[in-house]
Structure 1
Amino acid sequence: MSRSPHRIALLFNANKIYDREVISGIGDYLGSTRVAWDLFLEEDFRARLNGIEHWDGDGIIADFDDPAVAETLAKSPLPVVAVGSSYQDEHGYPDGIPYVATDNLKLVKLAYDHLIDVGLTRFAMYSLPVSETNRWAQQRELAFTRLVGPSGMINRGLATSPLAWNSASEQLGAWLRSLPKPVGIIAVTDARARHVLQACLAAGIAVPEEVAIIGIDNDPLTRTLNRIPLSSVIQGTEEMGRTAAHLLHQMLHGARVGATRILVPPVGINVLASSQHQPLSSPYVMRARHYIRQYACQGIKTEQVADYVGVSRSSLESYFRRELGYTVHQEILNFKLEKAREMLVTGDAPTSDIAIRCGFTSLQYMHAVFKRELGCTPREYAEREQGAATVDNQ
């Protein structure tokens, strides 16, 4: 006679990409093994604790970055696996509960090393206000200070809300204007990185020439909300979910895992325009590239870029050739091509839609640009890159 499936509760707030991908990793573990679990999640995937202590189940996987979750489950009679932040101080971890953590030091170090690689020597972090629910953000601050030293500048800003939005944006803009430049800014999440990017655009600060920005989470939703594509560290969240599911599976079959702690490193970085810093001496070229990154896919012409910068077209072309060795038109084309390549790899839209969204006048013109610049058609490029990604993941 077959056994009844174990009843497992997942306590996460899946409005965040971090939580969603941990849940996805749990699902991946179930799909790749013979484990039979009935999963309990709220219909809107938000953790609600009322009555959880009386829940008639077999085990729980939960986000312990939420102090209310950690407190409620501290004395649970059921097997519990915690998922959350890593801590420099051992006392930050719960007692006697297996814990799967994102490695904050390695997350921040990957971002920091990338900013060094693009030639930056000044660094700052945009974090979150101190609170019990933001302990993970303060851990990233500690990692930043450990790597950069006392010269690293940290701004926690204000919490976002309709009432505080204008003052938060003004404060952030003032801080950005005060920073010595060029500077690389690591934000503790993609959402905070987007705030930095918006404030830079509002203040006319060139990204990434004056301020290079990198977030953490690689959130696809956040990427679609920015005029300049946002670089981001890719957390190992799906691996965290798989690891947590494996630990709970062992516990349900009598294994004693105790206060096991497993730190999961990041997967890598999705490097996009916001952090691709290139030292430039001409302020006109910096302003022009700043404008191009925002509006290249809207079909802008060289004359519009020159008008924005405030110089004649011929002068701007001269500055570009001297600084970069190519024309303003080529810079516009390069950015449109970069955006098209990104969209082709993700496979989120038909090629004809990609051509329109990236500002090409026709699908045929995008084909011609790909053949001339990359030696292949858009379809061939997508197949090659997706095939390489499949090999890397095997």
Structure 2
Amino acid sequence: MTQPQDIALAFPRGGHLELLIEGVLSYVSEKQLSWCYITALESHGMSILDLVNWPGDGILAAINTEEEAACAKASKVPVVNISSALPHLPVTSCIIDNHAMGVLAADHLISKGFRSFAYCGLKDVEYSRQRQAGFEEKLNSVDFHSQEFLSHPTYFHQTGDWITQNHELAKWLDELPKPLGLFAVSDYRARQVLDACLNSGLRVPEEVAILGTGNEDLVCGHVRPTLTSVARNNFLQGYRSAEILDHLMQGLEVQGELLPIPPLEIVERDSTRTFAVSDSRLRDALEYMHEHLHQPLFSIDDITRQASVSRRWLEYAFRDALGETPYQYLRRQRLARAKRLLVEEPKTKIYKIAQSSGFSSAKQLAMTFQQDFGMSPREYRRVSKSS
């Protein structure tokens, strides 16, 4: 019988990290490995600082401070880092694509017709910097920019005066032009923004539309209004982290550049269910489009008839408010729906996904997918789950 290997999980439990653990377990099961997991006994979090001189076989760690980075470098057992809080680390990392998350967030808010934008992030934290950079890069590409509110992180247990910080946040929000599309570095910070809006009498999403990061149901689904969020692919991150650690424990080198794990999708909830357009005809057209985009026979002409406008008027209105044609917008929304269904319904046939997303056939969906993402729907489904 194979000798079990002791693997320490040196990161906080709960939230999106539970999905990461599922990815680890999937890899271990697939490779028929014998891993025993070491976690904190009573608390929900273990740091690599707790593992100095630990005689185990491998460590999966969230390295968030310079002290933890130094400890990882001195470790005598292989370490794989899963956090992107620091820009440069002395150990191998498997992290998510924070820049892409920012781009996805900006794209979502732009598609809602917003022209004023803001970012709520963290000071001196690498993943916050990357998410903000992606957000602003996308905004700048269509001649928009964002305002920022950066807070000190709580990694060092220096939470500061929360009451003062919340007052400052509320004052900042009140002074920004409305309607406002706001992207927060995490779901927790998005919740903080939501509380500040409610305490200040700002309506969400009509005056401030809020988009978080992480898609943690406990945070996003149990507030009113519920919070829209960028979903991370934590399962794939866990799978690849376990694969890398397995190779390192075998004495193998990790080949090639470790590409960051791309985000899955925008999970829309109440906090962004609005269209920030002043013309009621365009708002009606957008609402009607979203209600029917899953129908393959639904067309742009159906929208013009419903909104009682000409095709020419609709083209100009879309370009002016959203920066793209009605066809481009409809195509992109259908692709987003297809991506979500491919992940959420892994056993559903591709042709049924196509039909449910407004495509006339599996072939049409495949061609569109290849043009935009460089892969087939089947390949996307596979890489979204495991490598």
Residue identity opposite 1:275 in structure 2:
T
Q: Secondary structure at the match of 1:60?
A: strand
Residue 166 (1) aligns with residue 172 (2): no
Determine the C-alpha separation between the residues in 1 that align with 2:3 and 2:9.
19
Residue identity opposite 1:174 in structure 2:
K
Q: What does 1:1-394 align with in structure 2 at a 5 Å threshold?
A: 2-15=1-14, 17-43=15-41, 44-50=43-49, 52-85=51-84, 92-95=87-90, 97-128=91-122, 130-131=123-124, 134-149=125-140, 151-157=145-151, 164-257=161-254, 260-279=257-276, 388=345, 390-391=347-348
Change (3 A) 1:389 1:172: farther
Alpha carbons 1:11, 1:61 under 8 Å: kept: yes
Residue identity opposite 1:99 in structure 2:
S
Residue identity opposite 1:140 in structure 2:
R
Identity %: 29
Residue identity opposite 1:71 in structure 2:
A
Determine the C-alpha separation between the residues in 2 that align with 1:215 and 1:82.
23
Cα-to-partner distance string for 1:207-231 (whole Å, 9 max, x where unaligned): 2122111000001110244110110
Alpha carbons 2:214, 2:229 under 8 Å: kept: yes
TM-superposed CA distance for 1:125, in Å, is 0.3
Change (3 A) 1:75 1:50: closer
Change (3 A) 1:50 1:268: closer
Q: Secondary structure at the match of 2:225?
A: coil
TM-score, scaled relative to structure 2: 0.67
Alpha carbons 2:58, 2:245 under 8 Å: kept: yes
Change (3 A) 1:109 1:248: same
Cα-to-partner distance string for 1:74-122 (whole Å, 9 max, x where unaligned): 12221221212288xxxx2323x32211101111111111111111122
TM-score, scaled relative to structure 1: 0.66
Determine the C-alpha separation between the residues in 1 that align with 2:186 and 2:267.
14
RMSD value, Cα: 3.2
Unpaired runs of 5+ residues, structure 2, are 286-290, 292-340, 351-380, 383-387
Change (3 A) 1:74 1:18: farther
Bigger CA drift: 31-40 or 45-54? 45-54
Alpha carbons 1:58, 1:79 under 8 Å: kept: yes
Residue identity opposite 2:20 in structure 1:
V
Determine the C-alpha separation between the residues in 1 that align with 2:215 and 2:101.
12
Unpaired runs of 5+ residues, structure 1, are 283-319, 326-333, 335-383
Alpha carbons 1:86, 1:102 under 8 Å: kept: no
Change (3 A) 1:260 1:279: closer
Alpha carbons 1:158, 1:168 under 8 Å: kept: no
Change (3 A) 1:158 1:3: closer
TM-superposed CA distance for 1:179, in Å, is 0.7
Determine the C-alpha separation between the residues in 2 that align with 1:135 and 1:147.
19
Q: Secondary structure at the match of 2:196?
A: helix
Determine the C-alpha separation between the residues in 1 that align with 2:216 and 2:53.
35
* Aligned residue-pair number: 290
Determine the C-alpha separation between the residues in 2 that align with 1:275 and 1:215.
10
